[in-house]
Amino acid sequence: MAIMSSTESRRLDDAARAGWLYYVASNTQDDIAKKLGVSRQSAQRLVALSVSEGLIKVRLDHPIARCMQLSLRIKDRFRLSACEVVPSDPNDPNSIIGLAQAGANELERYLKSAQGKVLALGTGRTLRACVEELTPMNCSQHKIVSLVGNMMTDGSASDNDVVIHMSDRVKTKHFPMPLPLLSKSAKEKEILHSLGHVSTILELAKQADVTIVGIGHVAETSPIFLDGFINRNELEVLIKDGAVGEMIGWIYDQQGNLVKSAVNNRVASAPLKVDPDNIVFGIAAGELRVNAILGALRGKRINALITNEHTAELLLEND
């Protein structure tokens, strides 16, 4: 069997989505075009492709069918603007490959716009993988802004700084956050945020047309601890206070409320809103992150989600 390229695989997935929406969910081609962010002609071609590739028989013969059922259930359950559920690898349910492709697909929907957009991004391994999946292009009309500091605790640059890598890939103006994830004190954070170039970046982040952030868990295996941003005592206090999740440095509980702690007082990232005005995607998967994802959903810190099939099933079972 020939190995498909990422582009071919993504197009086949889009065709499966279009076929499911048309033949199973009874959407019109205009509806499909709007939901997939493509022209009506492209939607028509994708529906036709789903037939010509044998994806459509009596039912959709593609793993995306189960995923779309789960995405609709999660979207309805948590009243989301969007939900993308990708197939899970049975041998590696924590794989981020599918998440990366779905995240790249969402980013490209905005990057392909002729009208200038502001895209705000968190950081981390999954978002970095999304950027690696992007098709190289020239998007000088857009701006990408970081929501989180790009400095490690020793002052070095983060390997997972997303906006710099994305700017190299899609040739657009970028605004990295020249701050540590955590300031040394609440007073230092106030001073840093008052700096002209930092306040400009924070203001630009408020204007974002779309935001994509990773969702992390709070435990001994979480990056915020393993990378040395918080120490063991701080971790234990956070867990005792009910912390389950972390987004761009902000720590929250199972209802999505920010934990009252010295750590959150020092977070130098952009504010984490409730009921954001524009679309905010959370992207994460894996059993360890289920409670963190649920907290973000319950607290309405995000209004869109990208996850995988296995995680989606656990979200519905545990809510």
Report the CATH number at residue 144: 3.40.50.1360
pLDDT of amino acid 211: 97
- Is 215 within 8 Å of 247 (Cβ atoms)? yes
Partners of 230 in the beta sheet?
none
pLDDT of amino acid 157: 67
Domains in the chain, number: 2
Structural domain span for residue 24: 1-62
Partners of 60 in the beta sheet?
56
**Could you tell me the pTM of the whole model?**
0.81
CA 47, 103, 218 angle in degrees (round to 5)?
A: 140
Considering the domain architecture, whether residues 89 and 46 belong to the same structural domain is answered as: no
pLDDT of amino acid 89: 76
Tokens linked to 13: 């997935």
Partners of 93 in the beta sheet?
none
Residue 67 lies in a domain: no
Considering the domain architecture, whether residues 57 and 77 belong to the same structural domain is answered as: no
| pLDDT class of 91 with cuts at 50, 70, 90 | confident
Contacts with 156 (C-beta within 8 Å, 6 or more apart), sequence order = none
- Would you say residue 84 has pLDDT above 60? yes
pLDDT of amino acid 58: 41
Considering the domain architecture, whether residues 109 and 167 belong to the same structural domain is answered as: yes
pLDDT in tens, 109-147: 999 999 999 999 998 899 999 999 998 999 999 999 999
Q: Of the given ranges (151-160, 250-259, 298-307), which has the lowest mean pLDDT?
A: 151-160
pLDDT in tens, 206-258: 999 999 999 999 999 999 999 889 999 999 999 999 999 999 999 999 999 99
Considering the domain architecture, whether residues 170 and 209 belong to the same structural domain is answered as: yes
pLDDT of amino acid 27: 87
| pLDDT class of 65 with cuts at 50, 70, 90 | confident
- Would you say residue 59 has pLDDT above 50? no
